[in-house]
Amino acid sequence: MRLMKPPGEVSVAVVENEFVERVYDKISSVYDLAFGPILQRGRLRAMAVMAPGPGTRVLEVGVGTGLNLSLYPKTCQVTGIDFSQPMLDRAEERVAREGLDARLFQMDAADLRFPDNSFDVVYAPYVISVVPDPVTVLKEMHRVCALGGRLIILNHFRSQGPVLSRVERWLSPLTVHVGFKSDVDRDALFEEAAVTPHSVELVNRPRMWSLVTVHK
C-alpha cells in the first residue's frame, strides 16, 4: 500500500490488488454480519431504481458474498464478478443454498473480460472505494454497458463539507486496512473517467452513501 496522492486526485490512499485481496480474504467469513444489515437500505433502493425486467442482462461488479443475488427477479440474467476467491466461494454457496440463478467469475474489475456493450445494467455496490484504480473500473463498466443501458454505482464518497472532508482524507490511509477508502472524490472520479452522472441520490442512514445512475 502507498499513501498520499497529489491534491486533486481521486483519493489520498493508493492500494494494490494483492493488498485488497488479503483484506477481503480475511473478512469474508464476517462480511455479511459486518456490512449486511447496516448497508441494506442502499441495496434495496438500488434494486428499486434498477428495476430489471425480464431478460435484463445485469453485471454486478464486486458481487462479494452474494448479498444482492436474492434481490434480483428470477427473470433477469445475472452475472457477478469479484477479485476475492473466498468471497466468491461464499457467493457460490449462497447460490446453491437458495436455488439462485447467477453466473459467477473470479475477475479484476479493472480488466473485465467481456466484450463491449455486453450488459443492460452494470452495477457496482459498495465497490468503488475498495478497488485500487476506481477510474479504470468505471471506464470498464462503461465499456461493457450496452448503448441505452445504465451504470448504477452505490458508494460512499467524500463529503462536500470542508470539515468532514478533511477528516475523511485524514482517515483514508487508516480505513483501507478494513477494506475501503473513506475519501473518494465523486466529481473527480467521474470527470477522470469521462462519465457523466444522470442522477445522484443519498441513501442509507445516516445518508453518507450515494446512489449514482449513469445513462449510456
Q: What is the pTM of this model?
A: 0.85
Distance CA 202, CA 70 (A): 23
Chain centroid offset of residue 169 CA: 20
Q: So what's the pLDDT on residue 38?
A: 81
Q: So what's the pLDDT on residue 2?
A: 39
| Cβ atoms of 14 and 132 closer than 8 Å | yes
How is 173-192 classified by DSSP, letter by letter? HHHGGGT--TT--HHHHHHH
Q: So what's the pLDDT on residue 180?
A: 72
**pLDDT, the chain, mean:** 85
Check whether 7 has a pLDDT greater than 50: no
| Cβ atoms of 123 and 58 closer than 8 Å | yes
Distance set, CA 196 to CA 69, 76, 123, 129, 144 (Å): 27, 26, 16, 18, 16
Q: So what's the pLDDT on residue 51?
A: 97
Q: So what's the pLDDT on residue 210?
A: 96
Highest mean pLDDT among 13-17, 108-112, 165-169: 108-112
Q: So what's the pLDDT on residue 214?
A: 98
Q: Hey, what's the cell of 40? A: 441494506
Q: Give how many domains the chain has, as a whole number.
A: 1
Check whether 61 has a pLDDT greater than 90: yes
Return the CATH number at 112: 3.40.50.150
Among the residue ranges 29-38, 155-164, 177-186, the one predicted with the least confidence is 29-38
Range of the domain at 60: 2-215
Residue type, position 84, single letter: S
